[in-house]
Structure 1
C-alpha cells in the first residue's frame, strides 16, 4: 500500500481557522510534522492515539525529507503542517521537489490550502484590501533579509504603484521598511496598520502612517510575527461597488432606470 503525504495550511493561529479537510487529515495521520515555531499546537489536539509528532523547527530539510520518505515507504499517512497557507513563504516547493527526486509520484502527495495571515490581518482590521477607485491590486511581499529579493521586486520599486501592500517577515526592520516605501513613492501620510499575531488570543493592532508607525511599534516592543499593511484603503473615501449598484445590470439582475 502506498503512503500519502498532505501539506496542510493550518491557518494563522486560531485553531478553528484550519479547514475541515485539514483537521480531518491531521486526525487520521500516522505521522505529523508541524512547524512548531509558528503553528498553534492546539491544531494537533485532534490527532489519534499513537500518532508520531515531529517539530520541524528543530529539523533541517534533509531531516524532514528523511521522516517523510520513511513514512511514505511504510505506507503511512503523513500530515505536514505549515502555518497560514503554505503557498506563501511556506518552503514547501523544496520538499515537493525532494519527494519527486526520491521517486515519489504525484499521487502520493497533496496540498491542502489554508487561511493566510494576510487574510487574517484583513479580518482583524475589518478591512477590504480592494476598494473601487482606490486600489484594485494587492502586493504581497517582504523586505530583503537573509533571503534575497530579485532586483525588480525591491520594496522601493513596488512602492511606486501605491497599491495596497501586505508586507510579511519584515516588522523587525520597521524603520527601514517605512523609509524605503517613502523613497519609492508612498507619501509620508499614507495610512499603515500592523497586526501582531493575527487571530491569536494576544492579537494586537497598531495604526499610524508611514511617518509615525515605526515609533508606535518601537514603544510597543513588537519585533516578530506581525503583518504590515500599507495603503490608502485603510483610511479614505471610495466609490461603492458596481456589483450591488441598483442601476447596474448584471447577468442575475436588471438595473433600474435613472
Structure 2
C-alpha cells in the first residue's frame, strides 16, 4: 500500500516562529508552503523551499485569504475574480522562489477558511480551480476528499489529490469538525493512527457521532503548527513501516 503524507509548513512570519519545519521535512512526502497571506514571508518562503528541495520533497503552494491576523482561518467575502487574483498572486510568488532555487512546483493546496469554504461552495471551488488552471494546468490540486473542491478540479481537467486528515475529526457530511467545536482536534497519537489506518485500509472514517462514512484518499495531512506534529509524524511513519505502507507523493 502507498499513501502521500503532506504537511503545511513555512508559516512563520518575521520573528514569530510556527511549527518545526526542519524536523518535519524528513517525515513527510510532500509539503505545502505558506505564500505570505496567512503566514510566511519572503525570507521564510525562500528558506522553506531550500529545505524542501534538500530533502527531495514535492513542493506545493499553500495560498489562503489575505488574513495574517486571523491566520487565514476566518472566511472573507470575495468575488470569484478576487479569489482567482489572490490565488495567482500567492502561487506565482512561491513559484518564483522554487524556480530560483532550481526546483519545480508540484501542487496547490488552499489554506484554512479558503479550503474549508471551497469544500462546500461550488462557486468558490470553481474560482480556486480556475486560478490553478490559468497558471499551470499540470499542477495537482489537493482538496478534501469528496468535496466540491475536488469536483471543481475534475470538471476543469486538473489532476486532483483527494486529501484526508489524521489530526482532525469528521462530521457526517464528510466535512471537518470546525476548530471552535469540542473534539475538533485529535491529540492522541493512537487515535490518529487508527484514523489513518481506517482511511488507508477500510476507505472509511468514523465521525464524531460514531457513524462510519466512506472516504477514499490519496494523501493524509498533518498540521505543522500542531505542537506535537513531529512526534505524531514519527509515530505514524514507524507504524506505517511495520504495515508495509509506503509514504510517497503522487507521481513522484
Asked if these proteins are the same fold (TM beyond 0.5), I'd say: no
More helix by share: 2
User: Looking at CA atoms only, which structure, 1 or 2, has the larger radius of gyration?
Assistant: 1
Q: TM-score, normalised by structure 2?
A: 0.30
Q: TM-score, normalised by structure 1?
A: 0.29
Instruction: With a CA cutoff of 8 Å and minimum separation of 6, indicate the structure with the bigger relative contact order.
Output: 2
